[in-house]
Amino acid sequence: MICEIGAFLHKGEGTKIVAHFKEDPRVLGAYVEAGRTSDLFRFREFGSASENDIVMLIANQIDTDSLFDEVCDLAGIDAPQRGLVFLMPLHTRIGV
């Protein structure tokens, strides 16, 4: 099964994560986009919103546990106000 490891991080952090995994053979794709949020981070550069990076790593399910832990470590997600990291399948078989 193919899975996504996603993260919402402070602006600039996503680029570092994607660069780290650029040549990693476990990663099928690594992408970062910019966005704004009004409730994820305390500091808000734009009145009621702050800029953040939206990171997406695509990988086979067998590799996701180690990749997830590595993303969390790189992002320093165990500290307050660092963002959020999630894991979800991109497709599943129904009726098998």
pLDDT digits over 67-88, tens only?
999 999 999 988 887 888 999 9
Indicate the pTM of the whole model: 0.79
**Of 22 and 34, which is predicted with more confidence?**
22
CA 83 vs. chain centroid, Å, equals: 9
Report the alpha-carbon angle 56-69-83, nearest 5.
Answer: 55
Which parts of 1-96 fold into alpha helices (H)? Answer: 13-20, 61-75
Q: Show the domains of the chain with their CATH numbers.
A: 2-89 (3.30.70.120)
In the numeric block, the tokens 């660069």 are attached to 19
**What is the C-alpha separation between 20 and 10, in angstroms, rounded?**
16
Q: What is the pLDDT of residue 74?
A: 94
pLDDT category at 4 given cuts 50, 70, 90 is very high
